[in-house]
Amino acid sequence: MSFDNDRPPPERLERTAFERSAEIATIELHRDLSLSQHTDIQSASGIQLSAEIVDGDGEILRLQFLRQDLAYQLVVNQSIISPIRALPCELLSEIFALVLESESSERPGLSDAERDRLRRNERWVHNPPFTCVCTLWRHTALATPALWTAIQIEYGSRMHEKPQLMKEFVGRSSGMPLYVHVREQDRTRWSTREHSTSETLFMLARLSQHRWRSLRLLGRVSLRAPLDLPLLERLDVKGSRELYSNLFRNTPRLRAVAIEWIDLPAEQIPFWPSITDIRLDCAMLDEEEIIAVHRVLYLHRQMLRHLTLPDTVPFLDVDDEDAIPIDPYEMPSLLSLDVGGFTYSILHLISTPTLAHLTVRNASSRNNNAGVFDDVLADGFIATGYLRSLTLVGVEFDTLERICAILEGLPGLERLEISESPLTAPRVEHLVLQDEFLQWLVVDSGKSMHLPNIVALLLVFRDPTLILESTHGLLREIKYSRSMARAVNGVWVKQLKELDTNVQGSSWPAAGYSSFC
């Protein structure tokens, strides 16, 4: 058997070898392409990563700048708010108390729309604005009983319909003495709003009347029954036609009373044994009212130390022959007296051996009181040796000699205030602060000495814009001639420590007119 016959033909072998070579070449080509593509992919990926790294670095830089800016803003904000945020609660409480003290207890008259809003909101107390700033401030305020001792009941209050809320508010003061202020707006007619205000006051009295230290009633307020006020020290009643004094008889610590006379019978005035300060506002100046005033003064004449009788009708004409006959009486403890207008005539009826401070307002020739002062001094009702302070506001005198003679009769006078009110008569001869009077006040060794004990002089001119240069010069002479204590013509002259006027540049010391205007 021959094997040569079984071998493929040469053409077939060559074709097979060619096919194998082609396959090998194809495999090699595919392998080279895969490596190239892989290299390209890696290169593109590297470029993308580099770009992302650059973007990331830029974002990091932006965030760093933002962080620095925010840190700066934080420092600025902390520098602004840190002083108050760093304060302890105790000091915050003191600041809150000062804020409340600076607020006036007198609120301006409300319009009808404002009263309606208050009634709708049923507000009966004044919540300080600082309680709404933040939680810390509110908690601090609520934990400070002294901030809640003042209770103000406004016109039309309906808080008696919410007793639980009233108890909560009263409880904030933690048993401290209370200062109650009730304000009515309508004095001419009775209304349901006034009734609701009285109801609120009555409920408040049931809850806390044993803690009231001060009570102020403005307007037409009525009470159902007498009050038990063992701590009450001050009572102020104004404009009420239905308040009778027997409602306030149980007041053993009452020291100061202020009453405006409106239909209050004289027999209704009780005797308060501890009273030392009385203010009586005259409304009608008729015989009944004058008798009532004198009854109050007579009842309390022994203990009374301070008396104020303002006149709401300063220029009422009163004839001497119509004067009401009242026997004079002595007030042995009276230290200060403030009278105005027609009430000036009371100086004829009281003896004040210890009076140290006297203020007279709006006594002019138009109400026949211009000459009362010197008559009183001549009659000896005022012990002139004790009088240390004299204030004359809008008081007219017929002649300069009269006012000079009056002042000469006050050897112990240390403080003198003369104010020419714009309400005084326009006649120049009735004005006190003229050049002749200022010359009289100058200390001069070549003339008689006047008012050697004066240490405070306050002069308010009627129109400072019309002051002459001669007046400026006399004010300077007064200041320098009394600038030091010395003996003049054998009389010891005290140093003038205070000269205040409403004339620019003439006050001494520099505090000036603002301290008393």
Least confident of 128-142, 299-313, 402-416: 128-142
pLDDT (tens digit per residue) in 15-25: 777 677 767 76
For the ranges 35-39, 170-174, 188-192, 421-425, the maximum mean pLDDT occurs at 170-174
Q: Does 248 have pLDDT greater than 70?
A: yes
Q: Give the pLDDT score at 296.
A: 83
Q: Which of 65-74, 87-96, 156-165, 348-357 has the highest mean pLDDT?
A: 65-74
**Greater confidence, 281 or 507?**
281
Both structure tokens of 212: 């009231």
Which tokens sit at 169? 């508010």
Least confident interval from 14-28, 46-60, 114-128, 295-309: 114-128
User: Any idea what the Cα angle at residue 297 is, between residues 296 and 302, rounded to 5°?
Assistant: 120
Compare 170 and 264 and report the one with higher pLDDT. Answer: 170
pLDDT at 116 over 50: no
Residue 115 pLDDT exceeds 50:
no
- Residue 458: its pLDDT value, please? 92
Query: For residue 277, what pLDDT is reported?
Result: 92
Residue 305 has pLDDT above 80, yes or no: yes
Which string of b and e fits 397-419 if b means at least 16 CB within 10 Å? beeeeebbebbeebeebbbbbbb
Q: Stretch 29-58: mean pLDDT, rounded? A: 71
More confident: 78 or 494: 494
Residue 507 has pLDDT above 70, yes or no: no
CA distance 280 to 323: 20
pLDDT value of residue 511: 40
pLDDT digits (tens, 9 = 90+) for 362-408: 775 444 444 555 566 555 556 666 889 999 888 777 777 878 888 88
Please check whether residue 462 is in contact with residue 420, taking contact to mean a CB–CB distance below 8 angstroms: yes
pLDDT of residue 349: 78
Buried b (16+ CB within 10 A) or exposed e, 287-303: eebbebbbebbebbbeb
477 vs 432: which has the higher pLDDT: 477
Rounded Cα distance between 384 and 373, Å, is 12
The pLDDT value recorded for residue 82 is 61
User: What pLDDT is recorded for position 416?
Assistant: 93
Percentage with pLDDT > 70 across the chain = 64
Q: What is the pLDDT of residue 414?
A: 92
Whether 27 has a pLDDT exceeding 90, the answer reads: no
Look at residue 303 and tell me whether its pLDDT is greater than 50.
Answer: yes
Torsion, Cα of 508, 509, 510, 513 (10° steps): -60
Lowest model confidence (mean pLDDT) among 56-70, 150-164, 203-217, 495-509: 150-164
Averaged pLDDT of the chain: 73
Stretch 279-296: mean pLDDT: 75
What is the helix, strand, coil percentage profile of the chain, to 5? 45, 15, 40
* CA gap 357, 352 in Å, rounded: 11
Alpha helices in 346-467 (DSSP H): 372-379, 400-408, 435-441
Among 246-255, 293-302, 378-387, whose mean pLDDT is lowest?
Answer: 378-387
Q: Please name the residue that has the structure tokens 């000062």.
A: 98
Q: How far apart are the first and last CA of the chain?
A: 155
Better-scored residue on pLDDT, 199 or 65 = 65
More confident residue, 130 or 324: 130
Tell me if 332 sits within 8 A of 302, measured CB to CB.
Answer: yes
199 or 70, greater pLDDT: 70
Per-residue buried b or exposed e for 112-123, using 16+ beta carbons within 10 Å of the residue's own CB:
eeebeebbeeeb
**What integer pLDDT is reported at residue 456 of this predicted model?**
92
Task: Enter the tokens of residue 15.
Answer: 């074709």
Distance CA 69, CA 47 (A): 33
Of the candidates 484, 468, 481, the one whose C-alpha atom is nearest the C-alpha of residue 436 is: 468
Q: Tell me which residue of 496, 476, 499, 473 sits closest to 486, measured CA to CA.
A: 496
* Average of per-residue pLDDT across 40-58: 78
In sequence order, the 6+-apart residues with CB closer than 8 A to the CB of 186 are: 155, 193, 194, 219, 220
Name the percent of the chain lying above pLDDT 90: 6
d(CA 265, CA 502): 44
Cβ–Cβ < 8 Å for 373, 393: no
The pLDDT value given to residue 335: 92
H helix runs in 89-191, sequence order? 89-102, 112-121, 135-142, 163-171
